[in-house]
């Protein structure tokens, strides 16, 4: 992945559209949908790059594997965030996408809410925060089990930091993590990491290839690529917009604020994802 700090383009005037224009364009076409953090804000999970948000830099993979201190900082924050994110429920936009049932739903989110809402064909580009992987033996286990272990190892930790602000990647704003006890792998004692793609890691090639195939298939089917709730700041999502635009496939972007892909968009709508996706599901019913 890239650093995630690339500048966001100014919304292209030629692509600006009304909701009715966008609904008309997408009403009868096969769709591939790419979603970002904006799809989950109505579920109480904040985004990184919405209008007025401060610049935040998530922990990189290189920092995470640098030693115990970084792992304490990550897991201390993430332990608190998981206790809150785990209670988030799919919102109207997630349910609308399940009804729309696109040819493929590509999500940059790690919260698993699309799957819980009933979407069937989903590629979670960056993995799911509900899984944990050992960096030594590669065993994958459930986050719920680790959460219980961390709660036992750190009694009272959650209560002491109840006021910590939740962040988009399932953690919180917190500096006081020096005393946090980190759990190792039950199988081999190795370092545990959430089974998600950190900055500094690459999205697995098979996931990217499946997405490219779905985007390429839109050429013959006369379909469109819909981007919902993503600023497209990182290349992991922007690459699919570039691929579609290069092939002449219509690209529609629905997002609060400008995105890095606006210059490539056929239509761009400044709107929240939940009401728009609900209206699209009703139009396509």
Same domain, 106 and 242: yes
Residue 27 has pLDDT above 80, yes or no: yes
Q: What is the average pLDDT across 43-56?
A: 64
Residue at which a domain ends, from 167, 196, 225: 196
Q: Is 188 annotated as a binding residue?
A: yes
User: Residue 56's pLDDT band (boundaries 50, 70, 90)?
Assistant: low
Give the span between the Cα atoms of 279 and 23, in whole angstroms: 8
> For the whole model, what pTM was predicted?
0.87
The pLDDT assigned to 164 comes to: 73
The pLDDT assigned to 82 comes to: 83
Residue 185 contacts by C-beta under 8 Å, 6 or more apart in sequence? 134, 136, 137, 139, 191, 192
Domain that holds residue 80: 53-87+128-196
- The structure tokens listed for 103 are 């040819």
Residue at which a domain ends, from 162, 196, 230: 196
Q: Is 126 a catalytic residue?
A: yes
Q: Is 137 annotated as a binding residue?
A: yes
Q: Is 185 annotated as a binding residue?
A: yes
Same domain, 16 and 106: yes
Domain of residue 266, CATH code:
3.40.50.1220
Same domain, 70 and 120: no
User: Residue 167's pLDDT band (boundaries 50, 70, 90)?
Assistant: low
Same domain, 145 and 218: no
Residues 85-137: pLDDT tens digits?
A: 778 899 999 999 999 999 999 999 999 999 999 999 999 999 998 999 999 99
Residues 215-253: pLDDT tens digits?
A: 999 999 999 999 999 999 989 999 999 999 999 999 999
Q: Is 39 annotated as a binding residue?
A: no
Same domain, 134 and 156: yes
Catalytic residue among 94, 95, 126, 195: 126
Q: What is the average pLDDT across 262-270?
A: 94
Q: What is the average pLDDT across 164-188?
A: 81
Same domain, 255 and 156: no
Same domain, 162 and 277: no
The pLDDT assigned to 2 comes to: 35
Provide the mean pLDDT of the chain: 89
Same domain, 82 and 117: no
Q: Cα 283 vs. chain centroid, distance in angstroms?
A: 26
| Dihedral, 87, 176, 196, 50 alpha carbons, nearest 10 | 70
């Amino acid at each position: 992945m890239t650093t995630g700090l690339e500048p966001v383009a100014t919304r292209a005037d030629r692509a600006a559209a009304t909701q009715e224009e966008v609904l008309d364009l997408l009403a009868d076409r096969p769709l591939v949908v790419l979603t970002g953090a904006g799809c989950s804000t109505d579920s109480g999970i904040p985004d990184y790059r919405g209008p007025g948000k401060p610049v935040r830099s998530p922990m990189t993979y290189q920092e995470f594997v640098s030693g115990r201190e970084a792992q304490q900082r990550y897991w201390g924050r993430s332990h608190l965030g998981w206790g809150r994110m785990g209670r988030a429920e799919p919102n109207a936009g997630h349910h609308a996408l399940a009804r729309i049932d696109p040819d493929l739903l590509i999500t940059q989110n790690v919260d698993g809410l699309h799957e819980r809402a009933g979407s069937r064909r989903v590629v979670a580009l960056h993995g799911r925060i509900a899984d944990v992987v050992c960096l030594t033996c590669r065993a994958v286990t459930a986050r719920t089990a680790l959460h219980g272990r961390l709660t036992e190892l750190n009694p009272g930790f959650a209560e002491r930091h109840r006021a910590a602000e939740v962040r988009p990647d399932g953690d919180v704003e917190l500096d006081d993590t020096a005393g946090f006890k980190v759990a190792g792998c039950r199988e081999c004692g190795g370092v545990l990491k959430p089974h998600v793609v950190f900055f500094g890691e690459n999205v697995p090639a098979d996931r990217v290839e499946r997405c490219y195939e779905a985007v390429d298939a839109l050429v013959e089917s006369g379909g469109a690529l819909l981007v919902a709730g993503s600023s497209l700041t990182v290349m992991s999502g922007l690459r699919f917009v570039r691929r579609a635009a290069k092939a002449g496939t219509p690209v529609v972007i629905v997002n609060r604020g400008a995105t890095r892909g606006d210059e490539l968009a056929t239509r761009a709508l400044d709107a929240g994802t939940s009401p728009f996706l609900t209206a699209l599901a009703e139009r396509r019913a």
